[in-house]
Chain A
Amino acid sequence: MNFSESFLTALDSLQSNKLRSALTMLGVIIGVAAVIALLSIGNGVTASITDEIESIGTNLITVSTDRENSGGYNALSLSDLEVLGDPLSSNAIEDVAAASSGAQNVVYGSESLNLTVSGVTESFFPINNMTDLLAGDLIYEPDVETGARVAVIGSTVASDLFGAEFPIGESIKVNGVSYEVVGVLTESGQGFGGNPDETVYIPLTTAQQRLYPDRTRSGERAVSTIYVQAASEDLAEQATEDITAILREQHGITYNDEDDFTIISQTDLLATFDVISTTLTLFLGAVAGISLLVGGIGIMNIMLVSVTERTREIGIRKAIGALRRDILTQFLLESVVLSLVGGFAGIILGWIISVVAGGYLDVTSIIDASTVTLAVGFAAGVGLIFGIYPAWRASSLRPIEALRYE
């Protein structure tokens, strides 16, 4: 019997047992669709979080006081900032900024809100990718030098305090002192280290004078955070080492004492996130694996349920002259056709589900070749094994044993 005869026989058999064929295919479809939908949404979620982190910039490094080792004092000062920002100190450092933050009462007209108020140096905005404005201007060097009473506000602050009013040029009161609103930032949505949309920014010097008068152990005006932009992603590690060396020297820390500051680089964050996303992918993979297993068990059941009838069929075919090879080829082709058609339908169904669900979850689902290969490969594998195994067993029986099978 040649291949095309075997193929036609397989198709014949599939279409004369429509219910059995449909049920088997359903198992494949469910397994494949579930895996594709789950994994592609999972991949989409992972990619969108990674994107968000990377948009902050992986070469951003933040330095803050380690209070356990600083004797309760704020360890960082503007002179630290100056040294770190000196091009001669480190070629791995591109730019530096400082900030001091706290919660303050902010009033405009009859509105009164408790908000984060951050005193910042002018380079805070470019370093944090926050240079986009809805209106007005940022805080610039002269504002910081003169200790100007100006404020740049986040978009949520603007709408909460001013409603439909235009904020630029208006005056808000922070802790009883008036500031002129000079700029409104665009919505940022970044959620790391406080929400910029809900923050009021004023010049660092102004903040130090009026809101945050803390001093370091040596009596200098303190800052709560120093932001360092590494010259490149590759130099981020170098920059971290340089910062440590420079600050230890600045603070007069001897070799056997601990740092009185903490350095967090975006690379650390990414590494942490990598662990989370790997866990997420593994979890989704496990869920997908379970759905494949369930689909696989469905395929297996329907194949095994029909084994009695099919064993007798094999007995009849052998009695009238089918070779073992003919039987195996027929059953193999039946399983291949079911797996392929079911697999294809599963891909389409899974794709539709992932697009629809992705729409609800506000995630762009990502279907990649490995997901499809995994899903179809597994379902086809299960279909083949349970499609062929009973046939393999039955075809090795003597014809009369197969005919008598109950």
Chain B
Amino acid sequence: MSHLMELSNITKSYEMGTQIVHALRGVNLTIDEGEYVSIMGPSGSGKSTLMNIIGCLDIPTDGIYKLDGIDLSHMSDDEQARIRNQRIGFVFQQFNLLPRTTALKQVSLPLMYAGLSRKEREERAAAALTRVGLGDRLDHKPDELSGGQQQRVAIARALVVEPNIILADEPTGALDTKTGEELMDIFNELNEQGITIIMITHEAEVAEHARRQIMIRDGVIVEDSRSTLENIPDMELVPA
């Protein structure tokens, strides 16, 4: 059986002057279509590094990453950009919105790079913003929105292309608990529609929403709940 994602012995090192930082020291991981995975671990354990590699934002130092059975290291930059554009939606802790740009334009951008007409992109962007509850904030710029609203704009931007993967790096990290819970509802809903979600968090309550929990420490996976899950498919997860 073919997996959606297959990471074999992925390593990532950064050279800092004379020092070499090993952010990932050999990660083996498979993720299937429709999964809802949370990645937890202490700060500096390599969570973001892993997610950036999964999302084609960065390349591993060593190891093989296959998406849909295709080795990504054989892909050109432009092909990777296509994958990011059409198959993956990103939600970052720091929102990463364009300054001085309205919500509608932010959310239309991925569609522009996908080559859609202006009319179609604005319709779909407006629909995506409505879906995250910002139907009345289309013309607002980031500095006119609250943190929670900005993150919703980012989520709308991630889902407007109808991706089959959404990657979220501590999406609630900069938000209060209540706002965070509201966002989690959106992610749950998206997963129910069949979108694969991989979410980094350091909050156990947030990780609870996922069906599979992965624990990472010092650049290696130290715990993966899937082994248990596979044996008992319908079991409701309880926090450890």
Q: Which residues of A contact B (CB under 8 A)?
A: 1-2, 5, 9, 12, 16-17, 309, 312-313, 315-326, 398-401, 403
Contact assessment for B85 and A320 in the assembled complex, using a CB-CB cutoff below 8 Å:
yes
Q: Flag whether B112 is at the interface (Cβ < 8 A).
A: yes
- 22 of the cross-chain contacts (CB-CB < 8 Å) are A1-B112, A1-B115, A2-B115, A9-B112, A16-B101, A312-B96, A316-B96, A316-B97, A316-B98, A317-B113, A319-B90, A320-B85, A320-B90, A320-B113, A320-B157, A321-B82, A321-B86, A321-B110, A321-B113, A321-B161, A323-B81, A400-B52
Residues of A within 8 A of B86 (CB): 321
Shortest CB–CB separation between residue A331 and chain B, in angstroms?
Answer: 14
CB contacts (< 8 Å) of A319 on chain B: these are 55, 57, 84, 90, 96
Docked CA distance A294–B115 (Å): 41
User: How far in angstroms is the closest Cβ of chain B from A53?
Assistant: 60
The answer to whether B109 has its CB under 8 Å from any CB of chain A is yes
Interchain CA distance A320-B92 in the complex, whole Å:
12
Q: Which residues of B have CB within 8 Å of A399?
A: 57-58, 84
Contact with A along B133-162 (1 / 0, CB 8 A): 000000000000000000000000100010
Complex contacts, B92 vs chain A, CB 8 Å: 403
Which residue of chain B lies nearest to A309 when distances are taken between CB atoms in the complex?
Answer: B99
- B3 proximal to A (CB < 8 A): no
- A interface footprint on B86-124 (CB within 8 Å = 1, 0 otherwise): 100010100011111100010001101111000000000
* Additional A-B contact list (10), CB under 8 Å, known A16-B100, A321-B85: A16-B101, A309-B99, A318-B81, A319-B55, A320-B84, A320-B109, A320-B110, A324-B81, A325-B78, A398-B59
CA of A318 to CA of B56 in the docked complex: distance in angstroms? 11
Closest residue of B by beta carbon distance from A6: B112
Q: Which of A313, A323, A401 contacts B98 (CB 8 A)?
A: A313
Q: Which of B59, B90, B113 contacts A322 (CB 8 A)?
A: B113
**Docked CA distance A128–B118 (Å):** 76
Whether B112 and A5, one on each chain, are in contact in the complex, defined by CB atoms closer than 8 angstroms, is yes
Number of residues from B at the complex interface, CB < 8 A: 29
Q: Is B182 in contact with chain A by the CB < 8 A criterion?
A: no
C-alpha gap A1/B110 in the complex (Å): 11
Contact status B105-A323, CB under 8 Å:
no
> Does the CB pair B77–A324 fall under 8 Å?
yes
Q: How far apart are the CA atoms of A403 and B157 in the complex, in Å?
A: 17
Complex Cα distance A338/B110, Å? Answer: 26
> Cβ of A5: which chain B residues have Cβ within 8 Å of it?
112
Of all chain B residues, the one with the shortest Cβ separation from A318 is B81
Q: Cβ of B77 and Cβ of A403 under 8 Å apart? A: no
**Taking the nearest CB of chain A, how far is it from the CB of B116, in angstroms?**
10
Complex CA–CA separation, A319 to B169 (angstroms):
14
Other-chain residue from A2, A312, A315, A322 in contact with B81 (beta carbon distance below 8 A): A322
Q: Which residues of A contact B112 (CB under 8 A)?
A: 1, 5, 9
Q: Which residue of B lies closest to A315 (CB)?
A: B96
A399–B55 Cα gap in the complex (Å)? 10
Shortest beta-carbon distance from A162 to chain B in Å: 77
**Would you call B82 and A403 a contact (CB within 8 A)?**
no
Which residue of chain B lies nearest to A15 when distances are taken between CB atoms in the complex?
B100
Taking a contact as CB atoms under 8 Å apart, the answer to whether A323 and B58 are in contact is no
Please report which residues of chain B, range 37-74, place their CB below 8 angstroms from some CB of chain A when the two chains form the complex.
52, 55, 57-59
| Min C-beta distance of A48 to chain B, whole Å | 52
Q: Is the CB of B98 within 8 A of A321?
A: no
B129 to chain A, nearest CB (A): 15
For residue A318, which residues in chain B have a CB less than 8 angstroms away from its CB?
81, 84
> What 10 A-B pairs come out closest when comparing CB atoms?
A321-B85, A321-B113, A400-B57, A320-B110, A400-B58, A16-B100, A399-B57, A400-B52, A322-B113, A321-B84
Contacts of A315 in B (CB 8 A): 96
- CB of B58 within 8 A of CB of A1, answer no
Q: A401: which B residues are within 8 A, CB to CB? A: 58
Contacts known (A320-B90, A398-B59); A403 close to B110, Cβ less than 8 A: no
Q: Tell me the complex Cα distance, A86–B110, Å.
A: 93
Contact of B57 among A16, A317, A323, A398 (CB under 8 A): A398
Q: What's the Cα separation between A160 and B112 when bound, in Å?
A: 83
- Complex CA gap A399/B92 in Å reads 13
Name B105's closest neighbour in chain A (CB-CB). Answer: A12
- Tell me, rounded to whole Å, the shortest Cβ–Cβ distance linking A118 to chain B: 78
Closest to A8 in B: B118
Among residues of B, the one whose C-beta sits closest to the C-beta of A5 is B112
Q: A319-B84, A320-B157, A321-B85 are in contact. Are A403 and B96 (CB under 8 A)?
A: yes
- Inter-chain contact A398/B78, CB cutoff 8 Å: no
Residues of A within 8 A of B90 (CB): 319-320
Which residues of B sit under 8 angstroms from A313, Cβ to Cβ? 98-99
* A-chain residues with CB within 8 Å of residue B101 when the two chains form the complex: 16
User: A313, A399, A401, A403: which has the most chain B beta carbons within 10 Å?
Assistant: A399
